[in-house]
């Protein structure tokens, strides 16, 4: 793509992102975007197949910038505090960008979004550090899925409520409930809590250089089964 075409494409995305933020996905029409960008509608179709392709590009642009900021953020010494900070940041982004969030919660869009996958990896990394600290009572995969499900549900509930009527303490209550379900009370492992021990041990398997790759794969399979 030439520099001129890329510049025009970015101008269209920026204008569409502004319209999306101000009035939601319905406002991002070809005519409205063309008018705001001082272009003729055919110019948009030369760069984007249709409105859905434009919305995909806008959602990716906004969310990619957000995820890049999360990736560059300093890690907390306490992985639990880091998880809480990430939760609050994600809630804040969704409430500030409801149009983008509604696009990303569309299963077909989220599944093909590199930025969405990068955001999930940021969460996986946070959960992995908690597992290394011996604080997970469920597998890393289950913890990630529970956090995502709880966060999405809480956000969609708030977005479906008029801003003046939203009870933002809902997200705190949901977070506390998830934490009780996935974390142990302390890093000291209870001998009876075999799942926490298994999950913590699994984080060191990649560093067991005395084992072959096949042996590490088999050990991971056993540990996954033991963790349920």
195 vs 189, which has greater pLDDT? Answer: 195
Q: Which pLDDT score is estimated for 137? A: 86
Which range of 75-89, 90-104, 162-176 scores highest in mean pLDDT? It is 162-176
The mean per-residue pLDDT over the stretch 10-33 comes to: 88
Give bridge partners of residue 136 from the DSSP assignment: 183
Whether the model pTM is above 0.75: no
9 vs 108, which has greater pLDDT? Answer: 9
Q: Express as a percent the part of the chain with pLDDT over 70.
A: 89
Question: Which helix (H) or strand (E) element contains residue 19?
Answer: helix 3-23
197 vs 90, which has greater pLDDT? Answer: 90
Q: Is the pLDDT of residue 192 over 70?
A: no
- DSSP letter for each residue of 63-130: HHHHHHHHHHSPPPSSHHHHHHHHHHHHHHHHHH-HHHHHHHTSHHHHHT-HHHHHHHHHHHHHHHHH
Q: Which pLDDT score is estimated for 71? A: 62
Q: Is the pLDDT of residue 164 over 80?
A: yes
Domains in the chain with CATH codes:
1-48 (1.10.10), 65-227 (no CATH)
Q: Identify each DSSP E strand in the chain by its residue range.
A: none
Q: Which pLDDT score is estimated for 65? A: 82
């Amino acid at each position: 793509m030439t520099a001129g075409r890329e510049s025009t494409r970015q101008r269209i995305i920026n204008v569409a992102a502004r319209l999306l933020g101000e009035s939601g996905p319905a406002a991002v029409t070809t005519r409205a975007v063309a008018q705001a960008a001082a272009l003729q509608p055919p110019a948009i179709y030369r760069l984007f197949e249709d409105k859905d392709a434009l919305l995909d590009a806008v959602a990716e642009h906004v969310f990619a910038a957000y995820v890049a900021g999360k990736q560059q953020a300093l890690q907390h010494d306490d992985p639990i505090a880091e998880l809480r900070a990430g939760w609050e940041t994600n809630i804040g982004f969704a409430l500030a960008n409801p149009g983008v969030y509604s696009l990303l919660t569309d299963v077909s869009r989220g599944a093909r979004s590199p930025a969405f996958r990068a955001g999930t990896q940021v969460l996986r990394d946070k959960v992995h550090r908690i597992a290394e600290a011996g604080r997970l009572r469920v597998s890393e995969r289950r913890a990630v899925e529970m956090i995502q499900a709880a966060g999405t549900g809480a956000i969609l509930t708030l977005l479906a409520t008029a801003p003046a009527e939203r009870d933002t303490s809902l997200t705190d209550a949901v977070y506390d409930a998830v934490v009780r379900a996935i974390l142990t009370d302390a890093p000291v492992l209870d001998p009876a809590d075999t799942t926490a021990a298994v999950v913590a041990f699994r984080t060191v398997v990649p560093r067991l250089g005395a084992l072959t790759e096949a042996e590490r794969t088999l050990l991971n399979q056993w540990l996954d089964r033991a963790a349920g």
